[in-house]
Amino acid sequence: MKAVDVVIIGGGPAGLAAAIGAKNAGAGSILVIERDSRLGGILNQCIHNGFGLHTFNEELTGSEYSARYEAMARDLGVPVLLNSMVVDITPDRRVFAVNERGVQELQAKAVVLAMGCRERPRGSLNIAGSRTAGIFTAGTAQKFVNIDGWMPGREVVVLGSGDIGLIMARRMTLEGASVKAVAEVMPYSGGLKRNIVQCLDDFGIPLLLSHTVIEIFGKDRLSGVAIAEVDESRKPIEKTRRLVPCDTLLLSVGLIPENELSKMAGVKLSPATGGPYVNESFQTSVEGIFACGNVLHVHDLVDFVSEESEIAGANAAGYAMGRGLSGGGIPVIAGNGVRYCVPWHINPDNVIDKISLRFRVTGVYRNSRVSVRFDDNQVFGRKSMILTPGEMESVTLKKETIAKLASAKKITVSVEEG
Amino acid sequence: MFDCMIIGAGVVGCSIARELSRYNLDLCVLDKEEDAACVTSKANSGIVHAGYDAEPGSCKALFNARGQRMFEKLSRELDFPFKRCGSIVLGFKEDDIAVLNSLMERGTKNGLDDLRIIGKEELSLIEPNISENAVAALLAPSGGIVSPYEMTIALAENATQNGVKFFFGAKVQSLEKLSGRSGGEFFRAKTSKGCFESKIVINAAGLFADEINNMLSAIKFKVIPRKGEYCLLDSSEAGLVSHTVFQTPGPMGKGVLATQTADGNILLGPTSKDVLDKEDFSTTSDGLSEVLAKASRSLKKIPTDKIITSFAGLRAHVESDDFIAGESEDVKGLINFIGIESPGLSAAPALGEKAAQIACAILSPPRKHSFNPFRPKTPRFRELSNQERQALIEGDPNYGKIICRCEKVSKAEILAALRSPLKPSSLDAIKRRTRVGMGRCQSGFCMMKLVGIISEELGASPDAVTKFGGASTLLVCRNKSELKEEFE
């Protein structure tokens, strides 16, 4: 068994930033464990631009963005175990990783969970019809096209308007495929506004809001799908049913934080995010185990992932070096119009400089106000023309504000009128 | 000329093939699909029925009783997942208790001596997630679960080891009985893979067993495809039930079951609806809603967000509602297995014996001394301790390359499957042997890796790799290869 100060599980954007954070905070020995043959995670297949506006003030592709973090990690001498899959983890932070050389057993002083997320498959929607070839999650199709150079189809319908679905609608078009439509069951898109404009509008691809795929046809390969409009309760309206011939259905219907290892470690998960409950320091319910990135909650922008992961990595390093965190904390409540807010509680004693509250709203809100209250006292308010569930909101509270927390019983984040 | 031609590589055909491979016979199995267990044997409840359900004295009762007792030995010899988890039938109101009692009586007549009725208290103790509305249950400790496709493949592989030849993609187009020059009679099947001749024919063609029989016999049968739809839940929900949970049959129909699968998922279903098309394996929104609505009678709560896939299978139903298992009355040498619906899986090992008895009576073959009942074991990474994993990886580094993250399947297992006796080549065929891609992400993560391994191992281009044979390819062309034409 090998002893390591900080073990980071996952070498995607979260793991890389956590490693940099840990190293900069002075961690002695660290190790990033990555199951793929290279670092960067999902960013490797994100060859479109739009990354890094917050972090680098430039518009980079996903692979460029991850290359910068890889270079930073390399410069800091971050050790990496590639082609290695963590198969076991215990609450006392023993980590077992499998690779061609065997089962590597590590005893970590602190662990950072940075496993990312996976795509929701067809089964979770229970779409009726045939189980033919030609149905892919958007990310799988993206891997086929961008990493391996193979087209998974020629005539495409995209179900779900998550960002990967929007990006893939454009990508398939650029590669010569015909994208018939993007159907979205909700009355609003789950993706970023800029992606709707740049990936659909610019290419004349119709976005069918309040529509879904209700049946899949085809014997060997997909031959078409039935699309229908849905009513307010998201039930298909039979008379609007129409057949769209296609050979490919791409699913972009949600991402699920990948927390199987977290569960093994005894980490408590939130039903709202599918990720661990964490405090202001990104420590989970298990002491010494931290979480960041999409394993914690699904992000739209990698810049936010990097930011929170650096903090998580630094705190993990601090913990490994014996700088314990004060326990407890004041609960952060998802109030009116807010689905969840990370972190789940804040102990003001642990806040070094400032803290960001990241949350998603439950529906589309126009001309409203985001508000943060300590008990009943509003400490933050921001007017907003539009809030949608597809865009993560962020509020940063400064140390001075946090200082006012001491006597409060709860922090409430909510959407308020005007 | 084969001694015996078996038509159909489902669980019945493969049980028969394996039984007959104990004898010195030239045997072949023909199947229209690309692999064993491609139709009814892959999409069913995977239940080994205790045997209280069938009418005493019926073929179903007889073969179920005999067959279900053979599973321990068979699963040990052939290394397929099987577990005697016990089953319960839930009663929801006083009237149901009478039905449970009559089921128990029937079970006793069918030779079961361990059935008992349990009350609400004991029920909630053994199955805490069962609905509060259940008032009593019939408990059958000998009920079990099996992976139906792994069992079928195991039987087929062991039969192959013992000399049986399998021909896939061989759809029987015509079948006739002819007289040879020396006066002996024989059968000739014209198939999409050429002509096959044999002394006897065993018809285990499942949904198409009527058509095979009707090509030869004046006594006609009709198989009605009866669709059953299912929802499969993530293995994270395995604790939902530990027994196979049935509902008391009543005016509302037979109800649906909730069970753990032999691989640790939760299965809900099936519906029961007669359809016209023997190749209609589509699920329907009505069917899937019915599964969930009916299952919610049994369970306090169904975690519908944990459904990872849904599927439909077709039962081979006949009007007489019993197995037709034996030599044809008017065509000597034609041995029929028609209408093998539930409990056909439980009965399959016994049906294999039955077929062997009849065939041996006709052919009087000597026993084969070299018969080996054991199928070589392929270690499954996910079932091993870390010490065992270490030892395996030292011997073969491919055990250290995890291809499927959800089910923890290593590259070594995938290569072993590709090199296994039936020479499978499609994604689904490899999936059924290794569980690669069967987990919660449903192959989102491993699909490309798997395509790569298959194409490399078989020396085929990635766009020739299929999901399940035929035209079910996954990739259509290289990037931009079709753009050129458009712009020229």
**Same domain flag for B230 and B304:** yes
The two structure tokens encoding residue A126: 């229970």
Residues B19 and B97 in one domain: no
Tokens of A101: 């050389």
| C-beta of residue B228 within 8 angstroms of C-beta of residue B214 | no
Same domain for B302 and B428, yes or no, is no
Q: Nearest CA of chain A to the CA of B396: how many Å?
A: 8
Does the distance separating the beta carbons of B386 and A103 come in below 8 Å?
Answer: yes
Residues in chain A within 8 Å Cβ distance of B283: 126, 128-129, 131
Least CA distance to A126: which residue of chain B? Answer: B310
Burial (0-12, 13-18, 19+ Cβ within 10 Å), B436:
buried
Chain A nearest-CA residue for B230: A126
Q: CA-CA distances (angstroms) from residue B77 to B174, B262, B387? A: 36, 17, 25
A19: enclosing H helix or E strand: helix A13-24
The CATH number that applies at residue B185 is 3.50.50.60
SS3 percent helix, strand, coil of chain A, rounded to 5, is 25, 35, 35
Inspect the interface and report whether the beta carbons of B441 and A121 lie closer than 8 Å.
yes
Whether A74 and A45 share a structural domain: yes
Question: Which candidate from B390, B402, B440 shows the least CB-CB separation from A85?
Answer: B402
Largest CA distance in chain A: 65
Same domain as B303, residue B252: yes
Find which of A42, A106, A122, A124 to mutate to test the B interface (most B CBs within 10 Å of its CB): A124
B273 CB within 8 Å of a chain A CB = no
Instruction: Determine the pLDDT at residue B484.
Output: 56
Q: How far is B471 from chain A (nearest CA, A)?
A: 5
- The reply to whether B371 falls in a domain is no
pLDDT (0 to 100) of residue A325: 82
Q: Are residues B231 and B307 in the same domain?
A: yes
B279 touches A at CB < 8 Å? yes
Last residue of a domain, one of A325, A356, A383: A325
Give chain A's domain count. 3
* Mutant choice from A36, A86, A88, A151 vs B, greatest count of B C-beta within 10 A: A151
Name the E strands within B318-429: 324-327, 334-338, 402-404, 409-410
Q: State the total domains in chain B.
A: 3
The candidate with the shortest Cα–Cα distance to B440, out of B302, B264, B245, is B264
How would you write the pLDDT of chain B (488 residues) with one tens digit per residue? 999 999 999 999 999 999 999 999 999 999 999 999 999 999 999 999 999 999 999 999 999 999 999 999 999 999 999 999 999 999 999 999 999 999 999 999 999 999 999 999 999 999 999 999 999 999 999 999 999 999 999 999 999 999 999 999 999 999 999 998 887 899 999 999 999 999 999 999 999 999 999 999 999 999 999 999 999 999 999 999 999 999 998 766 778 999 999 999 999 999 999 999 999 999 999 999 999 999 999 999 999 999 999 999 999 999 999 999 999 999 999 999 999 999 999 999 999 999 999 999 999 999 999 999 999 988 999 999 999 999 999 999 999 999 999 999 999 999 999 999 999 999 999 999 999 999 999 999 999 999 999 999 999 999 999 999 999 999 999 998 876 555 44
Q: What is the pLDDT along chain A (418 residues), one digit of tens a residue?
A: 899 999 999 999 999 999 999 999 999 999 999 999 999 999 999 999 999 999 999 999 999 999 999 999 999 999 999 999 999 999 999 999 999 999 999 999 999 999 999 999 988 888 999 999 999 999 999 999 999 999 999 999 999 999 999 999 999 999 999 999 999 999 999 888 999 999 999 999 999 999 999 999 999 999 999 999 999 999 999 999 999 999 999 999 999 999 999 999 999 999 999 999 999 999 999 999 999 999 999 999 999 999 999 999 999 999 999 987 887 889 999 999 999 999 999 999 898 889 999 999 999 999 999 999 999 999 999 999 999 998 999 999 998 898 888 789 999 999 998 7
Same domain? B414 vs B460: yes
Q: Tell whether B213 and B253 lie within a shared domain.
A: no
Judge: A137–B444 Cβ closer than 8 Å, yes or no: yes
Judgement on whether residues A182 and A194 belong to the same structural domain of the protein: yes
Provide DSSP, B358-387.
HHHHHH-PPBPTT---PPPPPP-GGGS-HH
The pLDDT score that the predictor gives to residue B488 is: 45
User: Cα dist. A133→A42, A74, A85, A402 in Å?
Assistant: 24, 42, 29, 54
Which domain-ending residue is among B251, B283, B312?
Answer: B312
Same domain, B283 and B409: no
Contact status, residue B50 vs residue B112, Cβ threshold 8 Å? yes
The CATH number of the domain where A138 resides is what?
Answer: 3.50.50.60
Q: How far is A148 from chain B (nearest CA, A)?
A: 8
Q: Which residues of A touch B379 (CB under 8 A)?
A: none
**CB < 8 Å to A145, chain B:** 479
Q: Which of B303, B337, B363 is the last residue of a domain?
A: B363
Pairs across A and B, CB distance < 8 A: 156
Q: Give the tokens for residue A325.
A: 């965190």
Give, for B209, the enclosing helix (H) or strand (E). Answer: helix B209-216
Distance CA A202, CA A170 (A): 9
Cβ proximity of B193 and B167 under 8 Å: yes
Residue from B441, B461, B468, B488 whose CB has the most chain A CBs within 10 Å, to mutate: B441
Q: Whole domain around residue A381: which residue ranges?
A: 326-418
The verdict on A94 and A6 lying in the same domain is yes
| B195 inside 8 A of chain A by CB | no
Q: Which domain holds residue B422?
A: 381-464
State whether A261 and A239 are in the same domain. no
Main-chain phi, psi angles of A278, to 5 degrees:
-130, 160
Q: To the nearest whole angstrom, how far is the Cα of B476 from the nearest Cα of chain A?
A: 6
The CATH number covering residue B265 comes to: 3.30.9.10
For residues B244 and B392, membership in a common domain is answered with no
Cβ neighbours, 10 Å, residue B370: 8
Q: Are residues A264 and A180 in the same domain?
A: no
Does B448 reach chain A within 8 Å, measured CB to CB?
A: yes
CB contact under 8 A, A144 and B448: yes
> Is A124 in Cβ contact with B471 (below 8 Å)?
no
Contact in structure between B139 and B88 (CB atoms under 8 Å): yes
Considering the domain architecture, whether residues A279 and A249 belong to the same structural domain is answered as: no
Distance from CA of B393 to the nearest CA of A (A): 5
How distant is the alpha carbon of residue B42 from its chain centre? 4
Q: For residue B484, what is the nearest residue in chain A, using CA coordinates?
A: A176
A339 and A412 share one domain: yes
- B195's enclosing H/E stretch is strand B194-203
Residue type, A162: G
Residue A9 has a pLDDT of: 98
Q: How far is CA A376 from the centre of its chain?
A: 31
> Across the interface, do A176 and B482 touch by the CB < 8 Å criterion?
yes
Active-site residue, B49 included: yes
Q: Does B291 touch chain A (CB under 8 A)?
A: no
Secondary structure class of A18 (helix, strand, coil): helix
Q: Quick one: A171 and A215 in the same domain? A: yes
Show which of B312, B330, B355 is a domain's final residue.
B312
Asked whether the beta carbons of B196 and B167 are under 8 A apart, the reply is yes
CB < 8 Å to B445, chain A = 118, 140
CATH of the domain at B398: 1.10.10.1100
Which of A35, A131, A153 shows the shortest C-beta gap to B476?
A153
Contacts of residue B483 in chain A, CB cutoff 8 Å?
175-176
Region of B165 (left: φ > 0; alpha: ψ -120 to 50; beta: rest) is beta
What's the pLDDT score for residue B250? 76
CA distance B136 to B415: 49
Question: Both A126 and A227 in a single domain?
Answer: yes
* Whole-number pLDDT of residue B35: 98
Among residues 399-418 of chain B, which lie with CB inside 8 Å of chain A? 400-402, 405-406, 408
Question: For A250, which residue in chain B has the nearest alpha carbon?
Answer: B444
Are B137 and B154 in the same domain? Answer: no
**What would you report as the CA-atom Rg of chain A, rounded to the nearest whole angstrom?**
22
A126 and A179 belong to one structural domain: yes
Query: Could you count the other beta carbons within 10 Å of the beta carbon of residue A376?
Result: 8
Residue B52 within a domain: no
The domain boundary residue, chosen from A211, A232, A253: A253
Indicate whether B191 and B233 sit together in one domain.
Answer: no
- CA angle (B153 as vertex; B192, B65 as ends), nearest 5: 110
- What is the Cα–Cα distance from B486 to B220, expressed in whole angstroms? 56
Q: Which of A325, A346, A374 is the last residue of a domain?
A: A325
Q: What gap in Å lies between CA B446 and CA B453, rounded to an integer?
A: 10
Element (H, E) at A351: none
Q: Are residues A215 and A264 in the same domain?
A: no
**CA–CA gap between residue B127 and residue B123 (Å, rounded):** 6
Beta carbons of B440 and A140 less than 8 Å apart: no
Opening angle at CA B23, ends B177 and B423, nearest 5: 80
Consecutive H or E run containing A2: strand A2-9
For residue range B201-241, list pLDDT tens digits in order: 999 999 999 999 999 999 999 999 999 999 999 999 999 99
CATH number of the domain enclosing A412: 2.60.40
Taking an 8 Å cut-off on Cβ atoms, the answer to whether A100 and B401 are in contact is yes
Q: Which residues of A touch B408 (CB under 8 A)?
A: 87
Q: Let me know whether B153 and B246 are in one domain.
A: no
Same domain, A182 and A157: yes
Determine contact, residues A228/A212, Cβ cutoff 8 Å. Answer: yes
* Yes or no, beta carbons of B397 and A101 under 8 Å apart: yes
**B380–A contact, CB cutoff 8 A:** no
